Amino acid sequence: MQDEIKLAIVGTGVVGQGILYAWIGRGYQVDAYDVNPATIEKLRNTGVNAYDMGEFGRCDADLIFICISTPRSEEDGSIYLEYMRDGLNKIGPWITERVKNGNYPMIVMRSTMLPTLSREEIIPHLEEMSGLTAGQEFGYAHLPEILRETDALDDSENIWQVVIGKLDDKTALTLKRMFEQELGSEAEKLISIVPVEVAEAAKVIVNTLNATVISYFNMMGSFLRELQIDGQQAIDLAVRMGEASLNCWYGTASGYPYGGKCLPKDVAALLAMASARNYSLPQLHATQLVNDYLTARAEHGEVPKPVIGGFRRASAKTLRQSSLAAYDSFQIYL
């Protein structure tokens, strides 16, 4: 497929460059477009065909990866889309010309989106600027980047998960074939094709989950230091003891409150202990509030009854195997 499809990257920041060099390394012809003259010059010095967005009308790519920055607004923290809109203003007319020339251009969004943003903002903007219909006259997909800021190129080269948010068959299948060539026999396990909005939501859940985990352990570590306990030692043991760390599916079910004796009791007891010491554990308090709300709804039959333990529990034998594997993995980070 490398000889059959030409790619372009729009937006060559950290994410864009990681994706750019990875696909060049796989043998694809890839052009890069940006608005920063210094970035363009830097890319050209490494042998990349890099151009200013003012030249985008001459792009002859079949598939475009959009990697335009979507930072947060300084005013209210909402997603800032002006950079994205500027880029779409140039991409829309380009779509029109490509279709006139008998092509089916495929637009693949790699910038982080919020759920429904493609449907409510991105696709309507492209349709307005092109006069064409997404999914019929041109392709669209959301391919959330699963990259870490400090390892974008390494993560792009060593693919460990692919989520394709599908609007039309051709774009989704084109992406699937591209990744299948790289993943080989592992492709079936590592590639997921889902609706666009599911892909958008999954990426945001990943980021907010990571943020929540970091904040949770910071909160607990701080409280333990108040008690003159080695918080890091306790946390290191906790992640090796808890099923939520060893079983990736533990508790992952929307609408199922936790129940039983241990979880409600220990949450309440630790909150009471902290309160008695005039110490606040806001994240744990929010955990209790959410569960109390769902438990009350369960009493009225609006959601399932509380689960004793965690949803999708593992057997003790499986947990033992996971614990041994986690121990070996844990040593790498010491």
Distance between CA atoms of residues 284 and 261, nearest Å: 17
Same domain, 219 and 113: no
Quote the pLDDT of residue 254: 85
Coil/strand/helix, residue 164: strand
pLDDT tens-digit profile of 247-302? 888 888 888 899 988 889 999 999 999 999 999 999 999 999 999 999 999 999 99
Same domain, 216 and 167: no
Same domain, 167 and 234: no
Same domain, 156 and 67: yes
Distance between CA atoms of residues 174 and 106, nearest Å: 9
Domain limit, last residue, from 159, 194, 229? 194
> Sign of dihedral through CA atoms 203, 206, 210, 211?
positive
Beta bridge partners of 140: 107
Q: What is the mean pLDDT of residues 63-72?
A: 94
Q: What is the mean pLDDT of residues 195-208?
A: 95
Domain limit, last residue, from 173, 194, 215? 194
Structural domains counted in the chain: 2
The average confidence (pLDDT) of the chain is 92
199 found inside a domain: no
Distance between CA atoms of residues 172 and 278, nearest Å: 54
Quote the pLDDT of residue 3: 57
pLDDT tens-digit profile of 108-122? 999 989 999 999 999
Same domain, 94 and 214: no
Distance between CA atoms of residues 29 and 171, nearest Å: 18
Distance between CA atoms of residues 268 and 265, nearest Å: 5
What is the enclosing helix (H) or strand (E) of 289? helix 282-299
Distance between CA atoms of residues 64 and 42, nearest Å: 21
Over 60: is that where the pLDDT of 140 sits? Answer: yes
- Residue 217 belongs to domain spanning: 204-332
- To which residue do tokens 């335009």 refer? 68
Quote the pLDDT of residue 119: 97
Same domain, 169 and 28: yes
Domain limit, last residue, from 164, 194, 224? 194
Same domain, 151 and 226: no
Over 90: is that where the pLDDT of 51 sits? Answer: yes
pLDDT tens-digit profile of 180-199? 999 999 999 999 999 999 99
